[in-house]
Amino acid sequence: MSSAVANSNSQKHLSKHFSNASQMSKGDGNISEDLNEDYTSYKIIELLKHDKFMANLDHLNSVQAGQKLPEHLLTGELTKQKDDKPSVMNPLQEDINLLNEHFENSDRESDSSNLFDSFKEDLPKFDPSVNYYVEYWKTYIDIKMSREELSQVTEKRNEKLKEVYKIMKYYDSNYEDLKENRPNGRKKHNRRTAKEISKEFKCPYKCGKLYGSEGSLNLHMKLKHAGGNKTDREKTAKSLVIAQFRGEKLPDTTLNLPAGAIDEAAKELNIKFDNKLLKDLQQKAKEKFDQYLEKCRREGKIDPLTNLPFVSN
């Protein structure tokens, strides 16, 4: 009977002990803040059924009766067995650690459930008027197209990066040579002298000057003979050939066409004229330019240095 009374007193003592521990541990986080009295009582009863915990009750009863506990139980130190392996820690402290671990796991489950509840609040509500199957495939197609566009942009970017890498690699490998060729920040040009240039391009006008490139010859014809650039000469010659072939009135011209320009235009257009007709057409083109030259003199648009109309850039 005394044992039953002692167990009853111990149960009351433990209930009070864990109730106080539950209130005190709200600040240190060892036991869950949401723990209610029913759950606490249930866990205590479950632990009371355990043999190890019953042994702890006996120790508590001994303390209440004034008996002295073993030193290793009071200090919580480990004792050594014959094989020098640590024995069991203070049983009461071990059970308290188990309780703390269990309550911490309960706190984690509670936090995860709260997180899920907050996530559910952000989800849109079901709308029966929406065809979710169609919307799903629309979203799928949009995502697929976006991925393809992103892939194309990525490929273009990678190609540009490769080009930049090649340029950087070239300059890194040829840095010394480039530095020698640009002592003052300018590229070193190996210019040829007039004797070294082979002048193979002859002016088609009466001056008969020779030039080393077609570009130099065209510039000479434009500035010194009012022949314009190469494209304008070809267009003017073709318009005269087409008008003559169709029997139409010849258009006015502002260019002094060189000899052979009309013949070349007729060949490109695959139009055959006899030599007499070609000479007549060349003469008419010369007369058209003379009329334009006279008009420029009357209007004061003649360059006194060249005695030709001013050349526009």
Look at residue 181 and give its three-state secondary structure. helix
Total-model pTM: 0.39
pLDDT of residue 25: 41
Does 171 fall in a domain? yes
Which helix or strand (DSSP H or E) is residue 19 part of? helix 2-24
Residue 303's DSSP bridge partners are 308
Tell me what pLDDT residue 59 has: 53
Which of 252, 264, 253, 254 has its CA nearest to residue 204? 264
The pLDDT value recorded for residue 141 is: 92
Give strand pairing partners of 158. none
What angle, 0 to 180 degrees and rounded to 10, lies between the N-to-C axes of helices 261-268 and 230-246? 70
Decide: 256 and 226 in contact? Cβ < 8 Å.
yes
Q: Is residue 80 a part of any domain in this protein?
A: yes
Give a yes or no: residue 275 inside a domain: yes
Asked which of 104, 122, 140 is the last residue of a domain, the reply is: 122
Does residue 201 lie within any of the structural domains?
A: no
> What does the alpha-carbon distance between residue 154 and residue 162 come to, in Å, rounded to a whole number?
12
How far apart (Å, rounded) are the C-alpha atoms in residues 111 and 117?
10
Contact 287, 256 (CB under 8 A): no
Looking at the domain assignment, is residue 270 inside a domain? yes
Residues 21 and 76 in one domain: yes
Domain end residue (candidates: 145, 166, 181): 181
CB contact set of 4 (below 8 Å; sequence gap of 6+): none
Q: How many domains does the chain have?
A: 3
| Exposure class string for 296-305: b at 16+ Cβ within 10 A, else e | beeeeebeee
Assess whether 101 and 152 both reside in one domain: no
Residue 81: CB atoms within 10 Å: 9
What is the amino acid identity at position 293?
L
Are residues 108 and 67 part of one domain?
A: yes
Q: Which of 99, 122, 145 is the last residue of a domain?
A: 122
pLDDT along the chain (313 residues), means of 10: 46 48 44 47 53 52 50 46 46 62 60 59 77 89 93 93 90 76 63 75 86 87 88 90 89 88 88 87 89 88 81 66
Domain that holds residue 43: 2-122
Same structural domain, 112 and 8: yes
**Pairing state of beta strands 210-211 and 302-303?**
unpaired
pLDDT of residue 162: 92
Do 107 and 156 belong together in one domain? no
| CA 3/CA 80 separation, integer angstroms | 32
- How deeply is 274 buried, as exposed, middle or buried, from its count of CB atoms within 10 A (0-12, 13-18, 19+)? exposed
Helical packing angle, 37-48 and 91-122, nearest 10°: 140
Tell whether 176 and 78 lie within a shared domain.
no
For residue 114, CA distances in Å to 33, 107, 121 come to: 14, 10, 11
Contacts 24+ apart (CB under 8 A), 270-274: 271/241, 271/242, 271/245, 273/241, 273/244
In this prediction, residue 271 carries a pLDDT of 86
